[in-house]
Amino acid sequence: MTLSQDPRTRRRRLGVAAAAAGLLAALLTTAPASATPDPGDSPAAGQRVSQSEAAEVRGAIADGEIPGQDEIVHSANIEHLTNVPKDALPGYNTDLAFQGRYAYAGNYDGFRIFDISNPKAPRTVAQVLCPGSQNDVSVSGNLLFLSTDSSRSDNSCASTTQPATEKSSWEGMKIFDISDKANPKYVAAVETACGSHTHTLVPERRDVYIYVSSYSPSATFPDCQPPHDGISVIKVPRKAPEKAAVVGFPVLFPGEGPDGGGNPGAPTNPGVSKTTGCHDLTVLPSKDLAAGACMGDGILFSIKDPEHPKVIDRVQDNVNFAFWHSATFNQRADKVVFTDELGGGGAATCNAAIGPDRGADGIYDITGRGDHRKLVFRSYYKIPRYQADTENCVAHNGSLIPVKGRDLMVQAWYQGGISVWDFTDSAHPHEIAYFERGPLTTDTLQVAGSWSAYYYNGYIYSNDISKGFDVLKLHDRRTDSARRVHLPELNVQTQPEYFD
């Protein structure tokens, strides 16, 4: 079905029952405890919705206003090539990285390596069992990096969950040698304060720097003490990765008091997360720039000296943004797209109760030069289809589509599916393609859907939390030229220079 024919863009009732039940009030007055659910080693149980909400979901399906349970729908310009279901790793699927003909897919239970030389038939090369939330993954040369953001009994892949209140508990970065793709070898581990929720590579010739994002300290956590107002910087010698170590903890939010100088959150700013660290950072090495999504704050900073990043500008949105989740530069580095993960990724926020400006993307222009550059808000973007109250849906991970002279992006929205959109005019973004599945269930809100959707060498790859690994292809004159751009490696949070 084409976008113009999609009846769901005209629906305005979905979510009304949720508002009546108090969901909207709860989302507006409380900050998410974490950016994504952390079920430990196994998926969390679903939350049963009210009878009226379940009836509304079934009615919307019967009326053809949303897809049927698990039904796949998409715009005419996207082709779904294949799906590879989860196999030996039953946990939530998470982030993706790419290198040559390989895709690396994170999972709460470890990671999986696919041979994608034939995108229509990806082949599993290896599955590595190494439990630890959320196993954010990236690659550089012969090294693979894996984030651990759940308190473990030790740094091995045989560890078990253990309270963060115990000093012996471990969280941080794991490093693997992937010279032999079929047999990755675990070579090093580096403990970091408050663990590693996500990480970002700043690759240099001799070394790799890793910016580690983590948050939510507590006076009761020996290895995660407040104020946790910065990021951990790890230096990894390429020729001796076993010598990887933390080389600094730059403070990004200086301030007096036990909480540092970030957004104070509630009660000062109701519904906004208190800033106690960063969720995700994106770097643009060719421009020595980085953008940080840091809970209650968005920041722009210089990475000319990778061990000592310098904040250039900082913005807040205390009206519509609850949790600054991730950031993406456009190709000219004169815009940044920030995402708001309202509800922590586990709530139904793509409905009439929440509206178009919350749980959305915020598009900011970068004005000025050098250390005087500023982030200037232009608009919000949110998918134009309402989702059911049993579908967790909110802005999540995406990447640029390399089309010269245009700002195009593909993005995951959990059970909202995958959206391809144009923000060339930063004040008037619009969708040009989409792919989604219908609700996983009609009576229970379960965490599912696309965690990450990235464009790599002519195809869109999506790691669906519950359904597995999807491959899609765009057929659109606006994106056709991107097929000529081929990269040897892609870690989306380390943005490449697509064009000179």
Residue 197, CA distances (Å) to 78, 97, 211, 294, 378 in order: 32, 16, 11, 12, 29
d(CA 490, CA 488): 7
Contacts of 71 (CB under 8 A, 6+ apart): 437, 438
DSSP for 191-213, written as a single string: E-TT--SEEEEEE-SSEEEEEEE
Per-residue pLDDT tens over the stretch 379-402? 999 999 999 999 999 999 999 999
Contact between 244 and 174 (Cβ < 8 Å):
no
Contact between 410 and 416 (Cβ < 8 Å):
no
Would the pLDDT of 230 be above 80? Answer: yes
Q: Band the pLDDT of 36: cuts 50, 70, 90.
A: very low
Per-residue pLDDT tens over the stretch 121-159? 999 999 999 999 999 999 999 999 999 999 999 999 999
d(CA 249, CA 408): 34
Per-residue pLDDT at 205: 83
d(CA 100, CA 489): 6
Per-residue pLDDT at 257: 73
In this structure, what DSSP letter does residue 62 have? H
| Burial of 82: CB neighbours in 10 Å, binned 0-12, 13-18, 19+ | middle
- Parallel, antiparallel or unpaired: strands 245-248 and 280-284: unpaired
Question: Is 147 in a helix, a strand, or coil?
Answer: strand
d(CA 354, CA 389): 11
| Burial of 35: CB neighbours in 10 Å, binned 0-12, 13-18, 19+ | buried
Contact between 92 and 414 (Cβ < 8 Å):
no
Token digits of residue 271: 């519904």
Token digits of residue 496: 């490449």
Beta bridge partners of 325: none
Tell me the pTM.
0.94
Per-residue pLDDT tens over the stretch 198-215? 999 999 889 999 999 999
In this structure, what DSSP letter does residue 4 have? G
d(CA 132, CA 26): 29
d(CA 471, CA 137): 19
Identify the residue whose tokens are 């010698």.
237
d(CA 94, CA 133): 9
Beta bridge partners of 473: 79
Per-residue pLDDT tens over the stretch 298-312? 999 999 999 999 999
Which domains, from first to last, does the chain contain?
3-490 (2.130.10.10)
Alpha helices in 314-394 (DSSP H): none
d(CA 111, CA 173): 14
Would the pLDDT of 44 be above 70? Answer: no
Per-residue pLDDT at 58: 95
Per-residue pLDDT at 35: 39
Would the pLDDT of 179 be above 90? Answer: yes
